[in-house]
Amino acid sequence: MAEVNVVWQEQGLSVCKLSLEEIAGIVTQGQCWVLPATSVHSRTSEASLMTDQMFFNNDWIRRLSERHVEDIVAVIVSKTLAPTENEARELAEKARGSWMEKTKGEELATREKVKMLTQKAKLACQRCAALTGALKGVNIFDDEKNLITDPVLQKQIVSLGLALESLADIISSAIEALLNGDPEALVKADQGLSEISESEIRFALKTALDALGAGHEAGLKKQELEEVFLAAFFSSLLREKGGEYSSRVYNVVRTQKPKIPDAAGIIRHHEHIEWMGFSHYVRRDGSYLVSLISGEELKKILVTGLSLEFNVRVAQGETAEMVLEDMGWRYKEPAAGPIYNVVTHVTNGLPPYSVAWSGLCNHLGLVPKKAIVEFTHKPASADAANLRVHMAFKGNAAQYLGLLGGAGISLGHRPDLEFSPLIWLFWRKGSDGVYSVLGTVDNTNVFSITSVSAPNGKLRMALLPVGLNEMNAQIYGPKRRRIIGLLDNINFTIVKNYLERAVNVPQVLRDLAVHHTRFSKKKND
């Protein structure tokens, strides 16, 4: 069970969160009984599709797939323990009881952690406001000793330091859970933001959680994630004061409470970094100065800066998709060297801006224009790879859409249509981890899902809608796709022109619209 999400287990008996493909793979092997942990319901009604006393088989898997059921918590019973169905049901009931008891305990603990996180965030906000109020008229760039000789200021500094220490302790345990494969604490925290009445506190915590999530997606380590969280939180609280002021205040506090993560550098630079190829610049007073910031440090700075900018702009009324797309357009020119060859782009590694931007997109579950997207979902077995796709699309389309390890370029969203975005599949990932171009592009082999033709299973380029209502959402949903890079403007223009010469995109859009209409009608009949 190494590749599935095991939520409870003992010898020969387990409760797992599985996709239909994974369930199909286990059923095909024939060594285990598989039952739902709870009754399976339709997404559109409370009607039970399958009770917890039923056993999964190919027929039930097909029915559930047709109703767009996705991940299911299932009980797996080894046939060595339970040769008969009745024995399997008895053991499954035992597993359900143990799993539900464990789940209740975990939910209680998670709620308590979220409550503590919001309380500590509120306290830190209040004490930060008190300190900045006390600092009015004080030149914080004077000698540090002069700042702590005032007993009133000293009290406020220590008070804020204690609050930040407590906040850092809480988020540290949440980060440990996240890195160990349990995101629930952060998910619940994000959901609980609506319960915070104070807009500034809610904004600061939301920004900090987004930076933490983006940093995790960008591959930052535990200590780095702690730094990013506090940097984003503190920068949000003092965003009107600017990075230089905020970092100075943070440093003053940290001299009294050195256990607080060292985030002053991130706070100082997050609003200044300009991206120009592989060179890192800090903009001050209208001039560009080369900065000696390392790539790893730059990732933290960019994750923090992009998360704060994103939340500020969304709060001002811009859509999330358009903000991310606008951020992507800053990547104007390809970097020197082979990295920006469209074939080897994602094979050789990516610059920090691309990594940070991709991390934020993945955290938010959005696919803006110019994103390089990889479909990486790994099925339980080769036999199950195309199972759900086949059930949704039938025929040759299923052969192609079951492609695993394929990568493509997002052409952006279409707000006038119900699907978004369009992805042009461009690469295929080999067993050696190296990407190659799928084939020659012309008007015969660039296609939509409605006109796909893949004789003998040969891979061809395709134009696919990621999120065509429910149908495509189940195939290329957030769990089955990942943004792995950002294409620069120059190469994106080349790719887009190439595509427009090869295929009639307006016709593709019309085909997709017709397909969607037919699908909706069939679903409602």
Q: Are 236 and 263 in contact (CB under 8 A)?
A: no
Walk along the chain (525 residues) and give the pLDDT tens digit of each residue.
Answer: 334 477 788 888 999 888 888 898 899 899 999 999 988 876 555 567 889 999 999 888 888 877 767 678 999 999 999 999 999 999 999 999 988 888 888 777 778 888 889 999 999 999 999 999 988 888 888 766 667 678 888 899 999 999 999 999 999 988 988 887 777 777 888 888 888 889 999 999 999 999 999 999 999 999 999 999 999 999 999 999 999 999 999 999 998 999 999 999 999 999 877 765 556 666 666 666 666 677 788 899 999 999 999 999 999 999 999 999 999 998 887 765 544 454 455 545 677 888 899 999 999 989 999 998 888 644 433 333 334 334 434 433 434 444 566 788 898 876 655 556 788 877 777 777 777 777 666 555 565 544 444 444 455 677 777 665 555 555 666 777 889 888 888 888 888 888 888 777 777 777 666 766 665 665 555
DSSP state of 334: P
What's the domain range around 197?
Answer: 112-317
Query: By the 8 A CB rule, do 354 and 344 touch?
Result: no
- Number of domains comprising the chain: 3
Query: Is residue 9 one of the residues assigned to a domain?
Result: yes
Classify 392 as helix, strand or coil.
helix
Same domain, 359 and 480: yes
Dihedrals phi, psi of 104, to nearest 5 degrees: -60, -45
Is residue 141 domain-shared with residue 233, that is, in the same domain?
yes
Residue 462 gets which letter from DSSP? E
Measure the CA–CA gap between 462 and 425, rounded to whole angstroms.
5
Helix (H, G, I), strand (E, B) or coil at 222: helix
Angle (nearest 5°) at CA 169 between 168 and 173? 110
Q: Has residue 211 been placed in a domain?
A: yes
78 and 192 co-located in one domain = no
Together in a domain, 311 and 345: no
Domain assignment present for 95? no
Do residues 43 and 145 both lie within one domain?
no
- Tell me the H-state helices in 371-436: 387-393, 395-401
Do 17 and 73 meet the contact criterion of CB atoms below 8 Å apart?
yes
Q: Compute the chain's Rg from CA coordinates.
A: 26
Per the DSSP assignment, residues forming a β-bridge with 290 are: 281
Same-domain pairing of 444 and 509: yes
Helix axes 85-134, 243-256, angle to 10 degrees: 100
Task: Spell out the long-range contacts of 311-319 with Cβ–Cβ below 8 A and sequence spacing 24 or more.
Answer: 311/203, 311/206, 311/207, 311/210, 311/236, 312/239, 315/203
361/501 same-domain check? yes
- The structure tokens listed for 377 are 């979902």
Beta strands in 183-259 (DSSP E): none
**Residues 301, 189: one domain?**
yes
Do 196 and 269 fall within a single domain?
yes
Pick the closest to residue 380 from 64, 4, 35, 5 (CA basis).
Answer: 4
Is 323 a member of any domain?
A: no
| Residues 352 and 313 grouped into a single domain | no
- Is residue 91 assigned to a domain? no
- Separation between Cα atoms, residue 216 and residue 364, nearest integer Å: 12
Cα 117 versus chain centre, distance:
21
Torsion from C-alpha of 485, 491, 497, 501, nearest 10 degrees: -80
Query: Mind spelling out the 3-state secondary structure of 245-264?
Result: HHHHHHHHHHHHCCCCCCCH
